[in-house]
A and B are shown apart, each in its own frame.
Chain A
């Protein structure tokens, strides 16, 4: 009888991996592709003093933004907090310690962490405040900053589909930072829309090999309204392309 690995766990069981003071990476971009059910679980379990690593802080009611709004985050590494005024407020009053990293560099730092590298050489931001406190090296007569790798105690990601081994398939632009974040956690938990038996995914389609994924939970779906749903007809056309 063939034994197969089954990484699916209950939500209650997943909650044991979250703890106060943990470093947490969340996949997603502006909340798109952020795992809604796991974010709610962290809120329900009263986890606090989180060191959050995320592309951005979403919106106050969307994705990682909820953790900020509920004051669960004490330190943040992100590229952008502009769509979440609550994050800006906490940064100004000193209750949230924020470190900004250029978006592409942040993605690569996470990728480096997930790929077992110590860091990367980057020239993006030379001549700007990004340079501050960075070690520099010359390689082939070019100057680079050393950007250290990022990992986290726990990574949480959202995927469209997973098999029980944890192979992940994403959904359109909800892929974004998820495949990177999935590799960089000491423990990675994937929240998935559809869980299928091992063998039913085409290996050519798999974006994140299941070996990076420790646990899978069934998603309850997005429980927030997107900005464009809240302001139908009145949203700035400058927020979207019409061509």
Chain B
């Protein structure tokens, strides 16, 4: 969707800083999947998948793939020590009960108040919500990774979502190629600028009211 590989990896690297030792984490498909590359090895993180693994590991070596061991996107994975397998009801029980510390998802639009739209473009793209509503509504912390604007240059961070919602007031954090926002008490706070963008760049390409943090920093 227009972002270079280096930019996608930078977004993933920034998102990984939100993951702390002992957390249970679900990573969505796309840039969120890259976040796993940047979680420090020494942390004990349990990665959860909707298809029924807690303690998912990395990709297997070539030739060691197992068709019956995959992530939610259908790609082969391995498991880490302490992993477990379970059925889909349990996989979503873990989500619904609020046992996920962090979920990292992509989005089509996010509003000023943290509403998320990420599963349908009526009449154009209708893939179904999959587990997105469960995850966005129930994880303790919801981090959105996405392009700052769409392919026409229109803001994806908007006053109000125009697409059908995945969740109301669900987002806690938005990370784009230009900035890091915190969604707090119905407000959008600009916490960090991604090098080489400026606050003006961000303000000019965001369709919502932004509060600029006094202690704003730059993420390289």
Q: A104 CA to B94 CA in the complex, in Å?
A: 10
How many A-B Cβ pairs are below 8 Å?
A: 188
List, in ascending order, chain B residues with CB within 8 A of A56's CB: 128, 130
Q: Residue B49 at the A interface, CB < 8 A?
A: yes
Question: Smallest distance from the beta carbon of A32 to chain B beta carbons, Å?
Answer: 5
Contact between chains at A243 and B68 (CB < 8 Å): no
User: With contacts A128-B166, A239-B29 known, is A103 near B127, CB below 8 A?
Assistant: no
B67–A238 CB distance below 8 A: no
Give the total of A residues in contact with B, Cβ under 8 Å.
60
Alpha-carbon gap, A239 to B65, bound state (A):
14
Task: Give the residues in chain A near B138, CB-CB below 8 Å.
Answer: 124
Provide the residues of chain A in CB contact with B67, threshold 8 Å: 32, 174, 222, 226
In the complex, are the beta carbons of B66 and A172 less than 8 A apart? yes
Task: Report how far A242 CA is from B33 CA in the complex, Å.
Answer: 9
User: Do A228 and B68 touch (CB < 8 A)?
Assistant: no
CB distance from A209 to the nearest CB of B (A): 14
Task: Digitize B97-122: 1 where CB-to-A-CB distance is under 8 Å, 0 elsewhere.
Answer: 00000000000000000000000000
A240-B77, A241-B36 known; A125-B137 Cβ under 8 A: yes
The answer to whether B133 and A240 have CB atoms under 8 Å apart is no
- Inter-chain contact A124/B137, CB cutoff 8 Å: yes
A123 → chain B closest CB, angstroms: 8
In chain A, what residue has the closest Cβ to B138? A124
Binds A, one of B82-90, B175-183, B189-197: B82-90
Contact A235 B75 (CB under 8 A): yes
- The interface size bin for chain B is 35 or more
Chain B residues, CB < 8 A from A242: 36-37, 58-59
How many angstroms from the CA of A29 to the CA of B76 in the assembled complex?
13
Complex Cα distance A100/B127, Å? 9
Q: Which of B127, B133, B167, B168 has the most CB of A within 10 A?
A: B133
> A30-B73, A172-B66 are contacts. A177–B128 as well, Cβ < 8 Å?
no
Given the contacts A172-B66, A240-B33, A241-B36, A81 and B128 also touching, CB distance less than 8 Å: yes
Q: What residues on A are CB-neighbors of B131 within 8 Å?
A: 79, 102-104
Interface residues of B (CB under 8 A from A): 8, 27, 29-31, 33-34, 36-37, 39, 47, 49-53, 56-59, 62, 65-77, 85-89, 91-93, 95-96, 125-134, 137-138, 164-168
**Ordered nearest first, which 6 A-B pairs have the shortest CB separation?**
A104-B92, A82-B127, A240-B75, A174-B68, A80-B130, A107-B88
